[in-house]
């Protein structure tokens, strides 16, 4: 779970960086394209194309196309319609998607995991502000499409076949993960050509610095460690860690960019989500002890 906690802290800055420095100033498709290509460049030297099984490479590309390719397109569009706190608010359903998709793929239903994810959603709702107007619903559905892509990608990555080379020897995930970004690039390059506005690129040093951070660190290192972390935990823990991004993102937004927020509600939200995480970990350990006994 350490990977997930570390990336949560890393990603908590992304919401505000996008909302403050890129949204409304830089074309969203351009931002997505640069972010994906930078992440791909980071992992490209590590790829071992001749050693990876074609099926594994195709699986990684499919996951990347959905989890960050399609997800980023919807995600960045939402910042054109919503404020940073609103985007954070509308991500509350992500853990439910993670739990339900994982159960559907496994052809089972885990009410306890769904219950702990629901507790985390309650914790996130404590931060919500009143008065969401009908004009925001387009943004809401953009965020939900983004959430669904993100959830589906995480669950699918956990279920990819073992990362082994074509000769049967072990091949490090570092030498395969570049295919994840290849898949995303295959989707976002034509999306930029068809829908992007080339007259609105990044023009300032600050904007390029933000894109470099988001591309190399948040997307490059972040998604690698997040997906590897997702392999090491159960679906319930993964769902709750998705929800932990919301209070973390709001905390950064309040402390650094001085957005108006109710600090008491933020604290209560973090406590409720923390309780859901503890409850899930307790249940998982208890179930393992009973299985051993």
Per-residue tokens: 236: 């319930």
pLDDT of 172 reads 82
pLDDT of 173 reads 85
Burial class of residue 108 in the structure, from the number of CB atoms within 10 Å of its CB (0-12 exposed, 13-18 middle, 19+ buried): exposed
pLDDT of 168 reads 55
Lowest mean pLDDT among 16-30, 82-96, 118-132, 236-250: 118-132
- Summarised one tens digit per residue, pLDDT across range 238-270 is 888 887 877 788 778 777 775 566 667 767 777
Average pLDDT over residues 212-223: 96
Per-residue tokens: 168: 């049967």
- Residue ranges in the chain assigned as alpha helix (H): 2-11, 14-17, 28-43, 54-64, 71-79, 84-89, 94-106, 111-125, 137-158, 178-195, 205-212, 222-231, 235-257, 263-292
Lowest mean pLDDT among 77-86, 124-133, 165-174, 231-240: 124-133
Bridge partners, residue 284, by sequence? none
- Summarised one tens digit per residue, pLDDT across range 106-122 is 887 778 777 877 887 77
Average pLDDT over the chain reads 84
> Domain residues for 8?
2-292
Rounded to a whole number, what is the largest CA-CA distance in the chain?
Answer: 65
- How many domains in the chain? 1
Residue 166 has pLDDT above 60, yes or no: no
30 contacts 200 by C-beta, under 8 angstroms: yes
């Amino acid at each position: 779970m350490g990977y997930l906690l570390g990336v949560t802290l890393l990603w908590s800055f992304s919401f505000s960086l996008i909302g403050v420095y890129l949204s409304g100033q830089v074309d969203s498709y351009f931002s997505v394209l640069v972010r994906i290509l930078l992440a791909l460049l980071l992992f490209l030297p590590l790829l071992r194309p001749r050693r990876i099984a074609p099926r594994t490479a195709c699986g990684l590309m499919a996951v990347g196309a959905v989890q960050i390719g399609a997800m980023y397109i919807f995600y960045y569009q939402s910042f054109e319609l919503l404020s940073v706190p609103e985007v954070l608010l509308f991500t509350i359903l992500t853990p439910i998607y993670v739990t339900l998709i994982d159960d559907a793929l496994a052809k089972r239903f885990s009410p306890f995991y769904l219950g702990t994810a629901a507790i985390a959603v309650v914790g996130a709702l404590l931060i919500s502000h009143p008065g969401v107007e009908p004009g925001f619903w387009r943004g809401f559905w953009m965020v939900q499409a983004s959430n669904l892509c993100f959830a589906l990608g995480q669950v699918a990555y956990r279920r990819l076949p073992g990362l082994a080379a074509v000769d049967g020897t072990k091949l490090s995930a570092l030498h395969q993960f570049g295919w994840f970004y290849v898949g995303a690039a295959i989707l976002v390059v034509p999306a930029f050509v068809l829908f992007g506005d080339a007259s609105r690129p990044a023009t300032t040093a600050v904007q390029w610095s933000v894109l470099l951070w988001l591309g190399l660190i948040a997307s490059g290192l972040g998604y690698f460690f997040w997906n590897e972390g997702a392999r090491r935990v159960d679906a319930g823990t993964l769902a709750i860690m998705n929800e932990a991004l919301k209070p973390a993102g709001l905390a950064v937004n309040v402390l650094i960019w001085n957005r108006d927020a109710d600090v008491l509600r933020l604290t209560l939200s973090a406590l409720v989500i923390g309780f859901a995480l503890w409850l899930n970990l307790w249940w998982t350990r208890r179930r393992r002890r009973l299985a051993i006994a």
